[in-house]
Amino acid sequence: MPTTISVAELMDKPYFSIVPVRAYRLPVADLKYYYSTFNPGESIGLVDAYLRRDGALWLSFLDGNKRPYYIKLSDAKPDLPALVIQGVKSEEQKYEDAKPKESLVDKLPRYAFIALTIAALAHIGGKAVSARSHF
C-alpha cells in the first residue's frame, strides 16, 4: 500500500533519499543550473520550502550561505524510516490517529452481554446436570 505524506510535514526536517538525487540552483532540471548530487542515505538538507513548477513539485533547501537549491521530488525517493524517526506522519497514520478510540465505557455493553450469556449458559447447563442426577 502506498504511503502518502503531506509535503508540509517535511518542512524544517532533514530529507534523505534512497536513490541518488541531483540538486539545482533553480527549480529546473537543466544541467546549466546543476548544484550537486546527493548519494543515497546522505542528508540533502533541511526542507526550507516547496513549490510547484511546470507540474512538478520541488523541495527547496538552503546552503551554508543561505542560497537556495532545489530537488525535484519525483526524482527523490524518500527514506521513509528516516522520516518516521523524525516524527513525520503519513496521511494514513493521521487518519488512524483521528479516529475516535473505543473507551472501556463504550465496550461495557458488549462485555456485559458476553458475561450475561456465559452466566445464562452456565445456569442452564447446571439445571441440565441436576435434572439428570435425579434419575
Give per-residue pLDDT as tens, 90-130. 666 666 666 777 666 666 677 777 777 887 777 776 665 45
Are 62 and 45 in contact by the 8 Å Cβ rule? The answer is yes
pTM check: above 0.75: no
pLDDT tens digits, 74-89:
998 888 777 777 767 6
R_g of the chain, CA atoms, integer Å: 29
* Mean pLDDT of all residues belonging to the chain: 81
Residue 25: the pLDDT is: 97
The helix/strand count (H/E) of the chain reads as 3, 7
* Overall average pLDDT of the 33-57 stretch: 94
